Amino acid sequence: MDCKTQNSLLQDATTSLSDGYDVLYFSPTPIIEASIEEITNKPIIVTSPYKGLNSFKAEDWESFFGRDDLILRLLDNLCNQNITLLLGASGSGKSSVIQAGLISRLKESFGSKFTAISLKPDRNPFLSLYNSRLQNNYQCEAEITLTQLIQNLQQEDRGTYWLIVIDNFEELFTLSNSQEAQFFIEDIIEAYKLLNKPSDCSVKIKIILAMRSEYLDNLSAYPHLIDIIVTQKNIQVIANITSENLYRVIEQPAARNGVVFEEGLIENIVKDTREITIFLPLLQYTLACLWKQEDLSDRVLKISTYKKLGDFKNILNNQLSLIYNNFSSSEQLILKTIIIKSIKQIDFPVKNTTVFSRVSLLKFDHKAVEKFVKNNLIIYSRTLNTIEIVHDILLNSWTILNNWVEEVRQAIAIKTQLSEDVKAWKNLYKNDKNKR
């Protein structure tokens, strides 16, 4: 078994942080440092500890490794600031850090007094805020603003702690109506001002925004938000994961389940990941496939099984293509229709990017959708009754989906060219008519 010692000071004890009133506790994710015999003598848990393309949730915190230092910094930010922007590239694990890293620790610190409100802006951020409240069984007006919500929570004054998570913050620039986005950002600024006012209220409310780093320039249109986030240093960036932490991401979840890696396998996987820029989603998917394919009777994940999966960078493409080819022709058409209908923008506002949105489940065959969800292709939101692509990594890693996107791109190009030709013809006709 490949073992790495934990050199970080975080391993020694629980860290306590205080804002002068409340105390937040941070416990590093427990590291199993044991012999192969000790691990394989543990009761085995056959359920895969790897998430595939899904994000980690708060309840997965014991299997979420490699980000302890970042989680501690975020908790420190919450003690000292009322708003934080978590910035990271696509596939860097922003949602997982917030859920399995941050929210799990806040639950540990405050117990039943803690509540997280999580939303994604989508087409209407205010409607998304309303829907997020319904998920917490909190009745409020449909048109409530973030500032009004905070005022309502403060009036309750029950000594509670609230974390408002606005994930996929870039959707304000890619999916939301521009006017709604403008109003919502202004609302965030007003909410921040409200939270910064001196108050004897016992309710604590913090806001965390999570955004893909390539959209940082979009904030420049909002100088007040730039001042709050950048000038006042209310920002944390997800850096590339270190080799030591990468070992833990691979090794430790299996060890918790009573399973070890064949000697040399972790080194092979780590080496393969270094050839790819966005590798964490592919890594989780590969490890999930490895776990599923392996005979765990001897408690060892083997090199031979890993090699059968194929080249690391093609594992996702190969597996999804195999799944897709086992669908009926009607199911294949439904999946293609879902993907095409969910394409919101291509090459805007960032070149060579495709923006996917959520689509209503009502338009599609439910049995087929259940099959797609089960096979880790799309995500279903029961609250919103919507479906969406499971992860943007599919765009770069699955040839079939990429071909569908290219079809849309070519159709847009043809439509644009036709529009330009019609416009040119009208101008030519107008000029010719004026000469007569």
Percent of the chain at pLDDT above 70?
Answer: 89
213-232 pLDDT, tens digit per residue, is 999 999 999 999 999 999 99
Across 146-160, b (16+ Cβ under 10 Å) vs e yields bbbbbeebbeeeeeb
> What are the phi and psi torsion angles at 144 (to 5°)?
-65, 140
**pLDDT recorded at residue 247:** 96
| Percent composition of the chain: helix, strand, coil (DSSP 3-state, to 5) | 55, 15, 30
The strand pair at 354-356 and 83-88 is best described as unpaired
**pLDDT recorded at residue 10:** 38
Across 170-192, b (16+ Cβ under 10 Å) vs e yields bbbbbbbeeebbeebbbbbbbbb
Angle at 78 between CA 77 and CA 82, to 5 degrees: 105
**pLDDT recorded at residue 9:** 33
CA dist 428 and 34 (Å) reads 80
Q: Which domains, from first to last, does the chain contain?
A: 67-237 (3.40.50.300), 327-414 (1.10.10)
Dihedral sign of CA atoms 61, 67, 69, 75 in order: negative
User: Which contacts of 175-183 are long-range, i.e. CB under 8 A and separated by 24 or more positions?
Assistant: 175/121, 175/122, 175/123, 175/344, 175/355, 175/357, 176/121, 176/122, 176/123, 176/124, 176/125, 177/123, 177/124, 180/123, 180/124, 180/125, 180/126, 181/121, 181/125, 183/126
The strand pair at 235-237 and 83-88 is best described as parallel
**pLDDT recorded at residue 3:** 36
50-78 pLDDT, tens digit per residue, is 999 999 999 999 999 999 999 999 999 99
Please report how the helices 243-256 and 280-293 are oriented relative to each other, as an axis angle in degrees rounded to 10: 30
Dihedral sign of CA atoms 238, 343, 118, 189 in order: positive
**pLDDT recorded at residue 25:** 86
352-376 pLDDT, tens digit per residue, is 567 788 888 888 889 999 999 999 8
pLDDT under 50: residue ranges of the chain: 1-12, 348-350
pTM > 0.95: yes or no: no
**pLDDT recorded at residue 157:** 75
Tell me if residue 179 falls in helix, strand or coil. Answer: helix
Strand extents, DSSP E, 55-160: 83-88, 114-119
> What are the phi and psi torsion angles at 234 (to 5°)?
-95, 55
Q: Of all helices (H) and strands (E), which one includes residue 403?
A: helix 399-435
